[in-house]
C-alpha cells in the first residue's frame, strides 16, 4: 500500500467530515457519534434505530463497506451518527477496516458507541481496550443478548461497567430491546474506558515513540502502538504530520523494539490485549452449555458438508430458479405485461395520445420506441417483477447466513481463478447488483484479488434484472439450454480468471473468513430490504430506460437506426447469426444490460428469435459490457484507465464467445 494513497485516504475522511450533512446549517456544532465494533455484530441495525435511516443489514461480515451518516435528534440536541465497517482490530488489514480506523484517527468523534456481540465478549473487549488507549469517550452496547441467552451465556453488565468505567447496556437491536437505555447512556455523555494493558518490554518504546508524535485527537500512546505493530497504512499520516528526521527516529525505535523482544510486534501487542480481555471477561462472563437447536445444527452441518453441501447448493439454486425464473419472470411478468399493460394501460394511453394531433409526440409516448409502450413496459412490467422476486429470495439468503458458507464450499473453485473463497461474497452479491458488488470487493485483502474480482464481475456475472430476464427466456426454452448457458458462463469465468491470475503479478491472498451463525431471516428486514432495493431500482433504472428509449426513438426518427442495424449486421447477423433487429437490444445494452436483455426477452416472446438464436443472444448479453452505473463505480474504485481497459477486453470477448457458440451449435446441429 503506497503512502501517498493512504495519505489521501486519511485526509479524505477528514474532508468528508467537513461536508457532513447539516454541519453548516446547525447553530451549534453537531455532536458526532461513531458506531464501532467487530464485523457482523449489528452496528447497522443500531444505526437504523438511532437515526431512522435504513442501511442494508445482512447476516454476514462485510455488509457495510462504506461509511453511512445519519442524523438523530434527542432531547433538543441534534447528533450526527456515523456507521462504520466492522473491524477486529484497529490495525487495518483491508480497505474497509482502514476506513474505520481513519474515522477515529482523523474524524473527531465526540462519542463512540461500541457495539459488540455479547457471546463474543473477549473479542469485544479487545476493541474496548483500544478505545481506552486512544482515550475516546465510549459507551459499550452488548448486542444480541437473546442469542447469548440461547447459548447459555450471561454477562454481568454492572460489574463490567465498574471495571471499564463506562456505561454498558445490553440490547437486542432488531427487537428494539434495550435501545432506550442505550439512548439514555448517549445523552448522559461518556468518558473514555479505563483499561490499561501492560506491554512489558515494549512500554519503554511506546513512550519514546509517543514523544515524537504531534498532538492528535487520539492519544499518542495508541498511535505509538499502531506504529510498533507495523501498521503500514499509517505512513501517509506520519508523513503529513512529521518531518523526515522524526519519522526516521520512530522507525529506528520500532526496529530496535522488535529486535529486542524478538517477536512479531503485531502479535505481541495483540496477545497482550487478548490476555487482558480474557482476564476481564473471566470475572463477568458465564456460560452454561446448552443444547443447540436441532434444526439449526442440522442445517449448519448440511450447508458446509463436504458431500451434502453441494446438493444443498443445487437445491438453493433450483429454488431460486423456480421462484425468480418461473414465478417472477413467468407468472408475474405475464400478469403485468399482458394483463395490466397489454390490456389496460397501453391501450388506454394509446387512446389518450391518439387524441394528440402531433404524430411525433404520439410516437414519442406510445409508438414503437415510445416512453410508455417501451421504456415503462420494459422496466415496470418485465424487469421490476423479476428483480423484486429476486431481491426477496436474495434477502432471505443474505439474512440466513448461508452466503458466507458458500465460500467454504467454493474456495477451491475460486483458487483456480486466482481468488480465495472470500470472493464468493462479491460475486454472489453481483447477482443482485454489479455496482454494489464492486464496492463489496473492498472486503478482499490484496489489490490483485480486488482487480480480478472486479473484472470477473464486469465480464460474466449477470445482475439480478438481467439474470431474471435471462432465466425467464431460458425457462421458455429447455433445461438443456439452461445447462449450456450455465456451463458457458462458468467456463468463461474460470478461463478468464485463470488467465488474469497468471497475467497479473503477485499472489492471491490466503483464504480466511468468519462464518456467522445461521439465523432465521426476520420478515421485517427482508421486506424492508426488498422495498429499499426495489425503490432504488426504480430510481436508478427507470430514468436510464427512458433515456435509452429516447435515444432509440431519435435514431429511429432520423432513420439512423436502420443504418446502425445495417452497420452492425456483419457482427450481429454474420458472426452471431441473429436477426438485424437484435442490434437494438445491444445498443441499449450499452446503457443497461438488463434493458438489452429485456429487449431480447420481448423478441423471443414474440417469436422473432429461434431457440438457438435466443441462446446465443443470451450468452452474448450476459458477457456484454457492464452497465453504465457499474462502469462508473469501476472508474471510482480503480480509475478510468482500468475501467476503459476492462471495457476494451470485455466487449469483443462477448461477441467472440457468442460467435463461437453460434458456430458450434449450428455445426453440430444441436437443438435446444
Contact residue for another protein among 48, 107, 309, 432 (CB under 8 A): 309
293 binds another protein (CB under 8 A): no
Site for another protein in 241-270 (CB under 8 A): 259, 261-264, 266-267, 270
Contact residue for another protein among 306, 357, 570, 607 (CB under 8 A): 306
Site for another protein in 513-572 (CB under 8 A): 513-517
Contact residue for another protein among 71, 88, 216, 651 (CB under 8 A): 88
Q: How many CA atoms lie within 13 A of 619 on its CB side?
A: 32
Provide the mask over 376-415, with x wherever binding to another protein is found by CB under 8 A and - wherever it is not.
Answer: ----------------------------x--xxxxxx--x
Instruction: Give the total residue count for the chain.
Output: 672
With 0-12 / 13-18 / 19 or more C-beta atoms within 10 angstroms meaning exposed / middle / buried, residue 164 is: buried
Nine cell digits for residue 127? 476493541
350/411 with CB nearer another protein: 411
94/441 with CB nearer another protein: 94
Contact residue for another protein among 271, 311, 361, 486 (CB under 8 A): 271
Among candidate residues 531, 511, 297, 271, the one with its CA nearest the CA of residue 395: 531
Contact residue for another protein among 91, 134, 437, 451 (CB under 8 A): 91
CB 658 within 8 A of CB 574: no
Provide the mask over 109-138, with x wherever binding to another protein is found by CB under 8 A and - wherever it is not.
Answer: --------x-xx-xx--x------------
101 binds another protein (CB under 8 A): no
**# binding residues, another protein (CB under 8 A):** 44
31/123 with CB nearer another protein: 123
Measured between alpha carbons, how far is 127 from 242 in angstroms, rounded to an integer? 27
Residue 160 parent element (H or E): helix 157-164
Q: How open is the CA angle 442-446-452, to the nearest 5 degrees?
A: 75
Say how far residue 156 (Cα) sits from the centre of its chain. 36
274 binds another protein (CB under 8 A): yes
- Which DSSP letter does residue 172 get? B
Contact residue for another protein among 28, 245, 510, 559 (CB under 8 A): 510
CB 464 within 8 A of CB 394: yes
Q: How open is the CA angle 8-13-18, to the nearest 5 degrees?
A: 120
Torsion angle in degrees (nearest 10) through CA of 481, 486, 489, 493: -160
Shortest distance in whole angstroms from residue 561 CB to another protein: 51
511 binds another protein (CB under 8 A): yes
Shortest distance in whole angstroms from residue 496 CB to another protein: 22
119/592 with CB nearer another protein: 119
DSSP string, 177-193: BTHHHHHHHHHH-----
Say how far residue 303 (Cα) sits from the centre of its chain. 22
130/662 with CB nearer another protein: 130
- Phi, psi for residue 229 in degrees, rounded to 5: -70, -5
226 binds another protein (CB under 8 A): no
14/517 with CB nearer another protein: 517
The sign of the dihedral angle between the CA atoms of 351, 352, 357, 359 is negative
Binding site for another protein (CB under 8 A): 88-89, 91, 93, 117, 119-120, 122-123, 126, 151, 153, 259, 261-264, 266-267, 270-271, 274, 304-306, 309, 404, 407-412, 415, 420-421, 510-517
Amino acid at each position: 500500500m503506497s503512502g501517498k494513497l493512504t495519505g489521501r485516504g486519511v485526509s479524505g475522511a477528514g474532508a468528508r467530515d467537513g461536508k457532513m450533512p447539516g454541519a453548516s446549517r446547525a447553530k451549534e456544532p453537531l455532536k458526532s457519534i461513531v458506531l464501532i465494533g467487530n464485523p457482523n455484530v449489528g452496528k447497522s441495525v443500531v444505526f437504523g434505530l438511532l437515526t431512522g435511516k435504513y442501511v442494508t443489514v445482512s447476516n454476514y461480515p462485510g455488509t457495510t463497506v462504506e461509511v453511512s451518516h445519519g442524523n438523530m435528534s434527542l432531547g433538543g440536541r441534534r447528533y450526527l451518527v456515523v456507521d462504520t465497517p466492522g473491524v477486529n482490530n484497529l490495525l487495518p488489514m483491508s480497505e474497509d477496516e482502514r476506513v474505520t480506523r481513519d474515522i477515529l484517527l482523523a474524524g473527531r468523534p465526540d462519542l463512540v458507541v461500541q457495539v459488540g456481540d455479547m457471546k463474543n465478549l473477549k473479542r469485544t473487549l479487545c476493541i474496548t481496550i483500544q478505545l481506552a488507549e486512544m482515550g475516546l469517550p465510549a459507551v459499550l452496547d452488548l448486542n444480541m443478548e437473546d442469542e447469548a441467552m440461547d447459548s447459555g451465556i450471561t454477562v454481568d453488565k454492572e460489574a463490567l461497567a465498574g471495571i471499564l468505567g463506562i456505561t454498558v447496556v445490553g440490547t437486542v437491536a432488531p427487537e428494539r430491546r434495550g435501545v432506550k437505555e442505550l439512548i439514555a447512556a448517549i445523552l448522559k455523555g461518556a468518558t473514555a474506558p479505563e483499561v490499561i494493558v501492560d506491554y512489558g518490554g515494549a512500554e519503554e518504546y511506546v513512550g519514546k515513540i509517543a514523544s515524537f508524535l504531534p498532538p492528535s485527537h487520539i492519544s499518542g500512546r495508541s498511535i505509538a502502538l499502531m506504529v510498533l505493530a507495523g501498521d503500514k497504512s499509517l505512513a501517509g499520516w506520519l508523513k503529513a504530520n512529521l518531518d523526515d528526521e522524526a519519522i526516521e527516529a520512530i522507525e529506528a525505535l520500532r526496529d530496535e523494539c522488535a529486535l529486542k523482544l524478538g517477536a512479531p510486534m503485531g502479535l505481541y501487542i495483540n496477545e497482550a490485549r487478548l490476555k487482558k480481555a480474557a482476564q476481564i471477561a473471566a470475572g463477568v462472563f458465564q456460560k452454561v452449555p446448552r443444547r443447540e437447536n436441532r434444526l439449526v445444527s442440522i442445517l449448519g452441518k448440511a450447508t458446509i458438508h463436504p458431500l451434502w453441501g453441494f446438493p444443498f447448493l443445487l437445491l438453493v439454486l433450483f429454488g431460486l430458479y423456480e421462484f425468480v425464473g418461473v414465478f417472477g419472470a413467468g407468472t408475474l411478468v405475464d400478469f403485468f405485461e399482458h394483463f395490466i399493460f397489454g390490456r389496460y394501460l397501453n391501450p388506454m394511453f394509446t387512446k389518450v395520445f391518439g387524441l394528440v394531433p402531433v404524430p411525433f409526440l404520439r410516437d414519442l409516448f406510445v409508438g414503437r420506441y415510445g416512453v410508455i409502450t417501451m421504456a415503462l413496459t420494459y422496466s415496470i412490467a418485465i424487469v421490476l417483477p423479476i428483480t423484486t422476486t429476486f431481491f426477496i429470495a436474495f434477502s432471505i439468503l443474505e439474512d440466513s447466513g448461508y452466503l458466507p458458507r458458500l465460500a467454504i464450499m467454493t474456495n477451491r473453485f475460486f483458487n483456480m481463478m486466482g481468488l480465495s473463497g472470500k470472493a464468493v461474497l462479491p460475486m454472489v452479491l453481483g447477482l443482485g447488483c454489479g455496482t454494489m458488488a464492486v464496492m463489496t470487493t473492498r472486503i478482499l485483502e490484496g489489490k490483485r484479488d480486488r482487480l480480478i474480482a472486479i473484472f470477473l464481475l464486469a465480464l460474466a456475472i449477470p445482475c439480478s434484472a438481467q439474470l431474471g430476464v435471462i432465466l425467464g427466456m431460458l425457462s421458455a426454452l429447455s433445461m438443456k439450454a439452461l445447462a449450456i448457458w450455465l456451463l458457458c458462463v462458468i467456463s468463461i469465468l474460470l478461463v478468464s480468471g485463470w488467465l488474469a491470475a497468471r497475467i497479473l503479478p503477485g499472489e492471491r491472498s490466503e483464504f480466511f473468513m468468519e462464518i456467522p451463525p445461521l439465523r432465521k431471516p426476520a420478515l421485517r428486514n427482508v421486506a424492508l430490504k426488498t422495498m429499499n432495493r426495489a425503490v432504488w431500482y426504480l430510481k436508478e433504472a427507470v430514468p436510464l430506460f427512458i433515456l435509452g428509449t429516447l435515444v432509440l426513438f431519435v435514431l429511429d426518427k432520423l432513420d439512423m437506426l436502420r443504418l446502425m442495424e445495417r452497420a452492425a449486421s456483419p457482427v450481429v447477423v454474420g458472426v452471431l447469426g441473429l436477426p438485424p433487429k437484435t442490434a437494438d437490444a445491444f445498443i441499449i445494452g450499452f446503457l443497461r444490460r438488463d434493458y438489452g436483455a429485456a429487449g431480447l426477452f420481448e423478441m423471443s416472446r414474440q417469436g422473432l428469435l429461434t431457440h438457438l438464436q435466443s441462446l446465443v443472444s443470451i450468452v452474448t448479453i450476459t458477457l456484454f459490457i457492464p452497465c453504465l452505473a457499474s462502469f462508473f463505480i469501476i472508474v471510482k474504485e480503480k480509475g478510468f484507465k482500468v475501467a476503459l481497459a476492462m471495457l476494451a477486453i470485455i466487449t469483443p470477448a462477448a461477441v467472440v464467445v457468442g460467435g463461437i457458440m453460434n458456430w458450434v451449435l449450428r455445426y453440430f446441429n444441436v437443438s435446444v
